Structure 1
């Protein structure tokens, strides 16, 4: 999803010109910069999942770091949309994604405890 969000920002249309994106414009200025950052983060998360799936022993630390970054990202998106002062569907989506990332952190931490035998 992070990769896809970045790719949307890299489309030729000026997304930040829309009223709901005014907070992003004020914080980031250039949507291409944010778009490339999101693409990079999205690719890093995908690589982390591939590494995690390819290893014989699960690597919950990669999942913890990835989910922590995702949590910060979605809190940031929520804040930027809120700064625009325009209420749209972002209010139902991005805060929920942030909460789901917290669940992912918890589950990865639980897996880390199980892998050490301390669950």
Structure 2
């Protein structure tokens, strides 16, 4: 999901004006500058990747990093869903971004469960 975030932002930074397309009218109303949104997404994507690297490099479980990362990811995908929904154009976005948000909720739950297990031990 971190890579999706960064690449989604990178696409906005490309020279083509994506916000000029009708499906992006909701984004245009919220963010007048697609380059700014693109850079924000690239930075958030790389920060999430960095958090995963730190999480993987540590011997102890670091569920807080994963919880925060997934929480930010959930807000990102809900925001993207809102941007597309605001355009009043039904497209394949409806089959992708809401499910990404739900996936992030699952990631939050799993990280919270890992945190509980690391504190209280595995329930059996």
Same fold? TM cut 0.5: yes
Smaller-chain TM-score bracket: over 0.9
Residue deviations 1:53-85 (CA, integer Å, cap 9, x gap): 000101000000000000000000000100001
TM normalised by structure 2 equals 0.94
Counterpart of 2:42 in structure 1 is 39
Map 1:61-100 onto structure 2 (within 5 A).
61-100=64-103
Counterpart of 2:113 in structure 1 is 110
TM normalised by structure 1 equals 0.98
Residue 117 of structure 1: how far off its partner (Å): 1.5
Instruction: Supply the distance in 1 between the matched residues of 2:69 and 2:32 (Cα, whole angstroms).
Output: 25
Segments of structure 2 that go 5 or more residues without pairing to the other structure are none
Alignment of 1:2 with 2:5, yes or no, is: yes
RMSD: 0.8
- Which of residues 6, 18, 22 is equivalent to 1:19? 22
Map 1:43-62 onto structure 2 (within 5 A).
43-62=46-65
Instruction: Supply the distance in 1 between the matched residues of 2:49 and 2:71 (Cα, whole angstroms).
Output: 15
Instruction: Supply the distance in 2 between the matched residues of 1:3 and 1:77 (Cα, whole angstroms).
Output: 13
Residue deviations 1:23-82 (CA, integer Å, cap 9, x gap): 000011100000000001001000000000000101000000000000000000000100
